[in-house]
């Protein structure tokens, strides 16, 4: 169900741009701008060496605080960096990682992500 306030404009839904996700990368917490099951786009992260890196994604709760107990670890590769954003690709998209991203995307779109067979 789409929440009231999200209106259709043209072909796209009017939704907030950022997801309710943060990522710990290189010892810093960085806001996730967008995500798919294979990639994430972050606010600019300077100084991250190319290659495979360990990251942890955290959901942001309704009160705006990072839920550190619900973090999901992943291995990603930096595929692009510029002065506006950093793009990373997941090496392996695990079930907990997919579940966290799907839940965040659904929340951003104003829909309920729950599916009784897969437990989202």
Q: Which domains does the chain have, with CATH numbers?
A: 20-109 (2.40.10.430)
At 3 the pLDDT is: 44
What does the mean pLDDT of the chain come to?
79
Asked if residue 100 has pLDDT above 70, the reply is: yes
Spatial CB neighbours of 87, under 8 Å, sequence gap ≥ 6 = 39, 40, 41, 42, 78, 79, 80, 81
Confidence band (pLDDT; 50, 70, 90) for 4?
very low
Q: How much is the pLDDT for 116?
A: 58
Instruction: Please tell me the predicted confidence (pLDDT) of residue 17.
Output: 52
The model's confidence at residue 89, banded by pLDDT at 50, 70 and 90, is very high
């Amino acid at each position: 169900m789409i929440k009231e306030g999200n209106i259709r404009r043209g072909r796209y839904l009017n939704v907030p741009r950022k997801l309710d996700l943060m990522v710990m990368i290189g010892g810093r917490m960085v806001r996730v701008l967008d995500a798919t099951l294979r990639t994430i786009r972050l606010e600019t992260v300077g100084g991250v060496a190319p290659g495979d890196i360990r990251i942890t994604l955290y959901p942001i709760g309704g009160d705006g605080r990072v839920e550190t107990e619900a973090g999901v670890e992943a291995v990603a590769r930096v595929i692009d960096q510029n002065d506006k954003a950093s793009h990373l690709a997941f090496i392996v998209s695990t079930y907990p990682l997919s579940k966290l991203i799907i839940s965040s995307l659904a929340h951003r779109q104003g829909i309920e992500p729950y599916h009784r067979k897969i437990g989202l």
